[in-house]
Amino acid sequence: MQSDPKKLVEKHASLTHSELMKVLSHVQRNQGDWVLHTLMVEGCKVPFKFKRKSEYQTLKGARVNMTYYPAQETVADIDLDIMKVVRIKRG
| pLDDT tens-digit map of 18-77 | 999 999 999 999 999 999 999 999 999 999 999 999 998 999 999 999 999 999 999 999
All domains of the chain in start order, with CATH: 5-90 (2.40.50.460)
- The pTM (predicted TM-score) of the whole model is 0.85
In whole angstroms, give the CA distance from residue 91 to residue 89: 6
In whole angstroms, give the CA distance from residue 78 to residue 2: 37
